[in-house]
Amino acid sequence: MRRNERCERVAMQILNTNYPQNMLSGGLVNGQASFAGLRHAQTLSPAEVIQLISQSGLRGRSGVSRPAADKWHLCAAQTTDGKLIVMNTVDGDPLLPAAATLLAANPAGVIEGLLIAAHAVGAQQAIICVDGQNSGQKASLEAILRDLTAKGVTGSVKFGLADVPAKYVTREDTALIAALEGKPAMSGLVPPMPAAKGFQGRPTLIHHAETFAQVAALFRQAAAGETLQQTKLYSIAGSVKNSGICELTLGVSAQTVLELAGGLKEEETLKFIQVGGPNGFIFTGDELDITLDYAAFEEKGRWLANTSINVCDSKICIVDYVKKCEDFCEKASCGKCVMGREGTWQLREFVHDMTVGKSKNEDLDMVQEISQGIHDGALCPVCQTAGAPLASALERFAGEFEQHMKRRKCPTLVCNKYVTFHILPEKCTGCGECLPKCPVSAIAGDSGLIHVIDQDTCNTCGICETVCRPIADAVARAGLVKPQTPEEPIPVGTFKRKAGGLGGGLRRR
């Protein structure tokens, strides 16, 4: 992914739970939408509708998660014409396809929430922003809107669909407005807030699809005289038995989500989890009781942009993992502000140096200074949070970072520059597939012969490992203890191992 390039999302199954499915199936009667929440909202004044949103404590479900009522109050207070509601269906976190899941399971519920918001702020027009490359989702929404319009559900609100780029930065309101106006998807300065002066200078209330789905759920509860209770879409992926997405009450623990996923895969040991996407915080297995709630995170000086959990086992190198996070953040940056553009690039480079033996002792102080500078000086949350993975990982895995930086050692044998590659003679079939692929011609062998890697020539690129994995899986990584291999190619099946075996420090991936 190049800077500000399209961000691909992962399709996920819906996990079965005993929790209320207020958004995924709420308001459906025999598969048909009841719109009970909308009918109840229409019996209230706009001020009363906003008051209920305020009382519920609802926050936006994308970006910085500000109180939704603040936006509604500001937009409703504007006296200019042409107020607009914008629904963002681009999911920010690649591992949390919230909008895609809701629009597939209960699209009417999402639109119901939007109509309630339009009633509250006095908007007569709505735009649903869709991924321009997802033609199926767009066609489905068009069909639903035609049906609801024909039934009179949409009232005086006129709907339109707009293609926007599926980029990480478009979860941020000002970047989304720029995309809608045909400009590069880049964050802008606030104030003025979009709710006061947004798309084409008009008061614009912007929310993610999940926020609108939750609005409808809250008003259905109010219509039934129930206590208002928020739910949230959570996702879990990585080293778990069942990756997926589920709807749970807001404020469950990470342990609860892990249990719903069936726990860790067999024979795996939990090392850490990351909560909140590629720029989220990292926690150890001893912190699984952490409450996945906005207020709980803020009490600890953290932020909860979303509720995705990536579970990582003991085979994962924390330094390499953080490098990938910082690489994502740098590429997700729109590049508009200096701190976002240069700061994320510097963070990525510093962590990359840690994985290839180029880091210096003073680098840790530098990355902490850069992280704080980005947080304080970047325009939007996409970059402001870029230092979170590194800072939280350093706090919990300082020893592993030190091994990389001072001892030039990767204990998990993941970082190529800190390992050697060997072809295991018992597994090599002598197929020759790896020979032409080696960029430095470090592999000796021929058809029917056990191949041997010249360690003095090998540049540890790992291409041989990638080539061999689906064929014979004969390439292994080694640390200080090396496997026994022949000194030169010999016929397949003739190698005799000496006493002592492979020893430790060996890993096949």
pLDDT tens digits along 43-90 = 999 999 999 999 999 999 987 789 999 999 999 999 999 999 999 999
Instruction: Say if residue 457's pLDDT is above 50.
Output: yes
Q: Average pLDDT of 230-234?
A: 96
For position 355, what pLDDT does the model report?
96
Are 386 and 347 in contact by the 8 Å Cβ rule? The answer is yes
Centroid of chain to Cα 112: 27
Percent of the chain whose pLDDT exceeds 90: 81
Residue 382, exposed/middle/buried by CB under 10 A (0-12, 13-18, 19+)?
buried
Query: What does the pLDDT read at residue 218?
Result: 98
Segment 336-393, tens digit of pLDDT: 899 999 999 999 999 999 999 999 888 989 998 999 999 999 888 889 999 999 999 9
Instruction: Give the confidence band of 9 by pLDDT, cuts at 50, 70, 90.
Output: low
Cα dihedral 200, 141, 65, 374 sign: negative
Percent of the chain with pLDDT over 70: 95
Q: Is the pLDDT of residue 176 over 80?
A: yes
Determine the average pLDDT of the residues in 199-206: 97
- Can you tell me the mean pLDDT for 170-186? 93
pTM exceeds 0.75, yes or no: yes
b or e along 39-61 (b: 16 or more beta carbons within 10 Å of the residue's beta carbon)? ebbeebeeeebbbbbeebebbbb
Cis peptide before 439 (omega within 30 of 0): no
Q: Check if the beta carbon of residue 87 is closer than 8 Å to that of residue 212.
A: yes
pLDDT at 2 over 50: no
pLDDT at 1: 43
Q: Give the count of alpha carbons within 13 A of 47, CB side only.
A: 1
| pLDDT for the residue numbered 348 | 96
Direct distance between the N- and C-terminal alpha carbons of the chain, in angstroms, rounded to an integer: 24
E-strand spans in 200-351? 204-208, 231-238, 244-249, 270-275, 281-284, 308-313
Residue 235 has pLDDT above 90, yes or no: yes
pLDDT confidence tier of residue 503, bands split at 50, 70 and 90: very low
pLDDT at residue number 498: 78
Of 151, 141, 304, the residue nearest 209 (C-alpha): 141
Q: What mean pLDDT is predicted for residues 106-113?
A: 97
pLDDT (0 to 100) of residue 168: 85
Beta-carbon contacts of 35 under 8 Å, excluding residues fewer than 6 positions away, are: 27, 108, 112, 153
- In terms of phi and psi (left: phi > 0; alpha: psi -120 to 50; beta: otherwise), the region of 81 is beta
pLDDT tens for each residue of 391-426? 999 999 999 999 999 999 999 999 999 999 999 999
Closest CA to 148 of 26, 24, 34, 45: 34
Give the pLDDT mean for 295-307.
89
Domains defined for the chain, CATH in brackets = 28-223 (3.40.50.11540), 231-405 (3.10.20.600), 419-509 (3.30.70.20)
Tokens representing 7 are 């961000």
Q: In whole angstroms, give the CA distance from residue 439 to residue 464.
A: 10
Cα–Cα distance measured from residue 406 to residue 394, given in angstroms and rounded to the nearest whole number: 15
Work out the mean pLDDT of the chain and round it to a whole number: 93
What strand order describes the sheet that includes 475-478?
420-423, 475-478, 506-507
Nearest CA to 106 out of 251, 233, 227, 234 is that of: 233
pLDDT top residue among 41 and 507 = 41
Count other Cβ atoms within 10 Å, centred on residue 395. 11
> Between the CA of residue 25 and those of 32, 125, 144, 228, 281, what are the distances in Å?
10, 26, 16, 17, 31
Residues with Cβ < 8 Å from 388, sequence gap 6 or more? 276, 279, 280, 281, 302, 303
- E strand residue ranges, 394-493: 420-423, 443-444, 452-453, 475-478
pLDDT of residue 297: 92
